[in-house]
Amino acid sequence: VSSTGRAPADVLIDGERIVGVLEPGSRLLGTDVAASVDRVIDATGKYVIPGGIDAHTHMELPFGGTAAIDTFETGTRAAAWGGTTSIIDFAVQRYGERVQDGLAAWHEKAAGNCAIDYGFHQIVGGVDDDSLAAMRSLPDEGVSSFKLFMAYPGVFYSDDAQVLKAMQVSRDTGMLTMMHAENGPAIDVLAQQLVDQGKTDPYYHGIARAWEMEEEATHRAIMLAKLTGAPLYVVHVSAKQAVEQLAWARDKGQNVYGETCPQYLYLSLEEQLGAKSDEWGSFEGAKWVCSTPLRSREEGHQDAMWQALRTNDLQMVSTDHCPFCMKDQKELGVGDFRKIPNGIGSIEHRMDLMYQGVVTGEITLERWVELTSTTPARMFGLYGRKGVIQPGADADVVVYDPNGHTSIGMGKTHHMNMDHSAWEGFEIDGHVDTVLSRGKVIVDDNAYLGAKGDGRFLKRGLSQYLI
Ligand code: URP
Ligand code: ZN
Ligand code: ZN
């Protein structure tokens, strides 16, 4: 299956590369191909797809006095179990740090620890003359995109002047500007007022981060991008009004793109409000505290996200994998939702959750491949090597069984380093059977055969998706 069609075929792999996509039973130079290879993986009745590319992950992200709990080792292994064979993680520069040092620190965390190939975007958390100069050399390092935050004042936040200057670098270099589009200063006022009224439960996180705050920031980012000529990619889009902004800008020919995440397709603010457990009471809702927040199903945001994926108003699905345990991490926010570290862990389930959208008729099989692999490769300068099954490409291949089944939850399918699953009880009418990373079988029939250090750093080129 590719992003443009499907056909029965044999995929011929030599070493780390795909060398042929042949008609079943083909003869090459007079020899029977199937009889002359070392190993045959029989995928009869199954889908053969390019390995998933998760372009938005946060291994070990420092947040709220703690750090995301998956290391590059545990997080990439969980990814592999779920049919993802490449990630693009975010190297972090914080206030007072140098961009070069932030990137070097992320190289150190990842090198020799990954199960699958990995690249980096650069978070620029302190835009100043020094960081602006440093950003100009990122493309030479294979880091062809950077993320700015219009949210989180005092942590990663950039004001409009900083956004404008960084976008000028984006225009000059061709690097893609990735934007966390929420009006952070206004959100912080609303959040303070809610806490002052005693509204401290996790649910109020989503009330403070109203969709108006996402629509407004998305519009502002679009206009600053238009003014500067920067290409813009808005991350973790959850509000239907934000999608309308993206569509409006694209209709005018602007280089503006967006991703959503499985949580904004499947989960809702109402379900978060209703979540209770013996152990955590109404604090149970902390499991789903992420930013942007879960949105109201009554207001129709989830349906709008699926619709946008069909119409290409949104181009990709990433996880924003940012896992925190309830114990010792999320529980920092008992009594004050502002102190709950933001993030959901999903890296293992993205391919399955999106395949379920094929089963339910939300998207086509081809669109599944496009949203999870081919477009991420094109958007972030990996296409040809990744995101496609064709001669010359890395042999990152997943055999997916549409007649298999996957039950998600603790003690079932769960290899992420967390003490709970945000996806507990989800049932998928499909199963990741076999996963190859550069020709090596790393997942085979529910056995993990990969090793730490299998994954290599991906030097990315500029986006191949821009108009
Ligand atoms: O809640 C989230 N999304 N945590 C990760 C940081 C970010 O803004 O992507
Ligand atoms: Zn963000
Ligand atoms: Zn993120």
**CA distances (Å), origin 453, targets 373, 415, 459:** 22, 18, 17
Encode pLDDT of 382-400 as tens digits.
999 999 999 999 999 999 9
Confidence grade of residue 32 (pLDDT, cut at 50, 70, 90): confident
State in Å: Cα 344 to ligand 3 middle. 10
| Predicted TM-score of the model (pTM) | 0.98
**pLDDT value at position 315?**
98
* Helix, coil or strand: residue 76: helix
Ligand 1 atom 7: residue of nearest CA: 291
Tens of pLDDT, residues 102-149: 999 999 999 999 999 999 999 999 899 999 999 999 999 999 999 999
Q: Is 292 in the pocket of ligand 1 (CB under 6 A)?
A: no
Residue 123 Cβ contacting ligand 1 at under 6 Å = no
CB distance 58 to ligand 1 below 6 Å: yes
Distance between Cα 159 and ligand 2 center (Å): 15
Alpha helices in 33-155 (DSSP H): 33-36, 72-81, 99-110, 129-135
Query: Is residue 346 within 6 Å of ligand 1 at its C-beta?
Result: no
- pLDDT above 90 (res 95): no
User: Considering only CA atoms, which of 281, 292, 410 is closest in space to residue 344?
Assistant: 292
Q: DSSP secondary structure string, 293-353?
A: PP--TTTTHHHHHHHHHHHTSS-EE---B----TTTTGGGGTT-GGGSPP-B--TTTHHHH
Q: Does 236 sit in the ligand 1 pocket, CB within 6 Å?
A: yes
Q: What is the mean pLDDT of residues 149-175?
A: 97
Q: Using the atom order of ligand 1, give the atom closest to the CA of residue 235.
A: 9
| Nearest ligand to residue 63 Cα | 1
Q: Please identify which residue in the block is written with the tokens 């926010």.
A: 333
User: Hey, which of 236, 292, 318, 324 would you mutate to test ligand 1's pocket, going by the most ligand atoms within 8 Å of its Cβ?
Assistant: 236
The 3-state DSSP class for residue 91 equals strand
The token duo for 353 is 């959750």
Q: What is the pLDDT of residue 362?
A: 98
Of the ranges 33-47, 53-67, 108-122, 413-427, which one carries the lowest mean pLDDT score?
33-47
Is 245's pLDDT higher than 90?
A: yes
- Kindly state the average pLDDT of the residues 84-105: 96
What pLDDT, on the 0 to 100 scale, is given for residue 81? 98
Q: Choose which residue among 69, 70, 267, 290 to substitute to test ligand 1 binding: the one with the highest number of ligand atoms within 8 A of its C-beta.
A: 290
- In the reported structure, the alpha carbon of residue 62 is separated from the centroid of ligand 2 by a whole-number distance in angstroms of 13
pLDDT for residue 27 is more than 90: no
Q: Which residues contact 168 (CB under 8 A, 6 or more apart)?
A: 228, 230
Average pLDDT, the chain: 97
Instruction: Answer yes or no: is pLDDT of 94 > 80.
Output: yes
* Ligand 1 site, residue 287, Cβ cutoff 6 A: no
The closest residue, in CA terms, to atom 8 on ligand 1 is: 291
Q: Has residue 208 got a pLDDT over 90?
A: yes
Say if ligand 1 is within 6 A of residue 322 CB: yes
The CB of 180 under 6 Å from ligand 1? The reply is: yes
pLDDT at position 445 is 85
pLDDT surpassing 90 at residue 428: yes
Whether ligand 1 lies within 6 angstroms of the CB of 259 is answered as no
ipTM over 0.90: yes
Q: Using a 6 Å cutoff on CB, does residue 147 contact ligand 1?
A: no
What is the per-residue pLDDT across 362-383, written as a single tens digit (0 to 9) for each? 999 999 999 999 999 999 999 9
Kindly give the number of the ligand 1 atom that is closest to the alpha carbon of 180.
8
Mutate which of 267, 320, 347 for ligand 1? The one with the most ligand atoms within 8 Å of its CB, which is 320
Q: Is the dihedral of CA 277, 280, 283, 289 positive or negative?
A: negative
Q: Which residues pair with 427 in a beta bridge?
A: 407
For 233-242, letters b (16+ CB in 10 Å) and e give bbbbbbbbbb
| pLDDT score, position 29 | 74
Reduced to 3 states, what is the DSSP secondary structure of residue 126?
Answer: coil
pLDDT score, position 30: 79
**281 has pLDDT over 90:** yes
* pLDDT at residue 115 in the model: 98
Ligand 2 centre and the CA of 210: distance in Å?
15
The pLDDT score that the predictor gives to residue 405 is 98
Average pLDDT over residues 15-19: 97
**What's the confidence (pLDDT) of residue 110?**
98
Quick one: what percent of the chain has pLDDT higher than 90? Answer: 94
Cis (ω within 30 of 0) for the bond into 84?
A: no
- What is the reported pLDDT for 143? 98
The model's confidence at residue 33, banded by pLDDT at 50, 70 and 90, is confident
Q: DSSP string spanning 179-211?
A: EE-S-HHHHHHHHHHHHHTT--STHHHHHHS-H
pLDDT for res 28:
77
Closest atom of ligand 1 relative to the 58 alpha carbon:
5
- One-letter amino acid at 343 equals G
320 ligand 1 Cβ < 6 A: yes
Say yes or no: CB of residue 290 within 6 Å of ligand 1: yes
